Structure 1
Amino acid sequence: MLPTPGAALLFDIDGTLADTDPIHLEAFNAVFARYGHQFDRARFVRELQGLANIDIARNFLPEMSAEDGMAVLDEKEAAFRALAATEIHAVPGLFALLDMADAAGIAMAAVTNAPRANADLVIDALGIRSRFKALVIGAELPHSKPHPLPYLEGLRLLGADAALSVAFEDSRTGIASATGAGLATIGMRTGLPDADLRAAGAVLTADGYDDPALLAFIGERMNASQTA
């Protein structure tokens, strides 16, 4: 692959680089049970997946001040990190795709709504920090996902062109953010089925990064201006 200048790959982290949703679900239940909330997989996907913590606090702890609500979410994130310390596993095919992108000189970024400490934990557990030219944390921007700003910031930091780039997401919130920034987005089926990901705006879906259709799409997208 010899991509045109401006081509880039932008990855969400949770559920996209690693299948961390089951760990988040366990952490939510451990902390939120005392506030009367219990989540099964379906409710997690429907009401929590991909949301920024400030929105989760507002939705599930409305009786609390913003400061107290975020303190509860901080406790949940600490529980997640404790559980995740030995449970981080890459989505299939990830390392081969990263090797291919590095060999071709394709710029890459991670774009997430996760707190920085969580993002650091996952990226370092996978040993892939050096792969990314940028790490964008939604909570550190004026708007997080589903607003397009996190992906627009990722494109800006990479000097990338949305028309030549591809995003990878696993949630409706993330797909809305990436497509809003003009990115063709591939939905990773770690949490949602094909139909839900496509309904949210994904151009195609895959179980892993070794999917032939995913790899073909990346190649076509990144060479778009050469074949136009």
Structure 2
Amino acid sequence: MPALQLFSPFLPKLPFFCTLNLSAPPAFSFRMSSSTPRCSSLASVAPLEAILFDIDGTLADSDPIHYYAFREMLQELGFNGGDPITEEFFINNISGKHNEELCHVLFPDWDLERARKFFDDKEAMFRRLAAEQTEPVAGLDALCRWVEDKGLRRAAVTNAPRANAEMLISLLGLEEFFELLVIGNECERPKPFPDPYLNALQGLGVSADHAFVFEDSVSGIKAGMAAGMPVVGLALRNPESLLTGAGAAMVIEDYTESKLWNILEEIANKKQEFEVIT
């Protein structure tokens, strides 16, 4: 796929799969104040019991593939006067949003069924390309080993269609890593609403007080925070200022950064101290 390799510095590789889905709305109510301080501090989750992960742009560097598919298909339609969409347009208007929302964002004058058909075709194109181009975010393997060694619960929570999510999990070899896969459009409301993350917490049997989230988009960060958890932003493709402005407790480029590992070890040490005390 030489055209894909030429278009942008976007792209990487990894392992993953899982099946369980909670489509029903959470069985508990949610209340959050804008003054809630714990969402701004990873240290507040100790003792840590679970980590929740977005997929696109968080586990796999797949945004370049999505961008390429959107760029090619929209240009073919004559969108934007036939000029290719820019990466800035993709980041500001497409990244992190679910397809039902994008039907209205990109095609406000289209019949809904026609718009849905476009997105079905776009996702099929993405899967064809991703089968050859998917790469993991740097340091993901080490992070997954750390999570397993610490005995933490884990779930994948995404606005991507189920077919995409399951394929990326499989390509990344994480089928046995994730206990739960929650699809935004199978919940009552997708991200940026908290429902997908609340469903994940309910499925794992974990309180938001003892979990945090890895996300790469504004909508994902808002969803994680609205569910009462701190969020680590992945600035792999989206600007750090955008993620910080959305409320990320910390922003990293990938999972190799020392500031992430320093706080993880701090949280792990607090968990050990808590276990000794109890």
Class of the TM-score when normalised by the shorter of the 2 chains? over 0.9
- Partner of residue 116, structure 1: 162
Which runs of at least 4 in structure 1 moved beyond 6 Å after TM superposition? 3-6
- The yes-or-no answer on 1:171 pairing with 2:212 is no
- Work out which of the residue numbers 47, 50, 68 in structure 2 matches 1:26: 68
Q: TM-score, normalised by structure 1?
A: 0.93
- The yes-or-no answer on 1:14 pairing with 2:56 is yes
Q: Secondary structure at the match of 1:167?
A: strand
Please give the alpha-carbon distance, in whole angstroms, between the structure 2 residues aligned to 1:158 and 1:131: 14
Please give the alpha-carbon distance, in whole angstroms, between the structure 2 residues aligned to 1:70 and 1:215: 42
Please give the alpha-carbon distance, in whole angstroms, between the structure 2 residues aligned to 1:29 and 1:189: 21
Contact 1:15/1:190 (8 A) holds in 2: yes
Aligned sequence identity (%): 38
Gaps in structure 2 of 5+ consecutive residues: 1-44
- Partner of residue 213, structure 1: 259
Greater Cα offset, 42-51 or 5-14: 5-14
- The yes-or-no answer on 1:67 pairing with 2:109 is no
Contact 2:46/2:267 (8 A) holds in 1: no
Superposed CA deviations along residues 78-99 of structure 1, whole A, max 9, x for unmatched, are: 0101111111110011011111
Q: Secondary structure at the match of 2:176?
A: helix
- Work out which of the residue numbers 213, 219, 228 in structure 2 matches 1:182: 228
Please give the alpha-carbon distance, in whole angstroms, between the structure 2 residues aligned to 1:165 and 1:221: 11
- Work out which of the residue numbers 29, 34, 44 in structure 1 matches 2:90: 44
Please give the alpha-carbon distance, in whole angstroms, between the structure 2 residues aligned to 1:42 and 1:25: 10
- Work out which of the residue numbers 200, 221, 239 in structure 2 matches 1:193: 239
- Work out which of the residue numbers 140, 147, 162 in structure 2 matches 1:94: 140
Matched residue type, 1:15 = G
Count residues with an aligned counterpart: 226
Please give the alpha-carbon distance, in whole angstroms, between the structure 1 residues aligned to 2:175 and 2:143: 15
Deviation of the 1:156 alpha carbon: 0.9
Please give the alpha-carbon distance, in whole angstroms, between the structure 2 residues aligned to 1:28 and 1:113: 17
Larger radius of gyration: 2
Contact 2:48/2:267 (8 A) holds in 1: no
Deviation of the 1:4 alpha carbon: 6.9
Contact 1:171/1:191 (8 A) holds in 2: no
Superposed CA deviations along residues 148-195 of structure 1, whole A, max 9, x for unmatched, are: 111111111111121221100111010000011011100011112222
- Partner of residue 33, structure 2: none
Deviation of the 1:63 alpha carbon: 1.9
Q: TM-score, normalised by structure 2?
A: 0.77
Q: Secondary structure at the match of 2:120?
A: helix
Please give the alpha-carbon distance, in whole angstroms, between the structure 2 residues aligned to 1:78 and 1:167: 28
Matched residue type, 2:203 = L
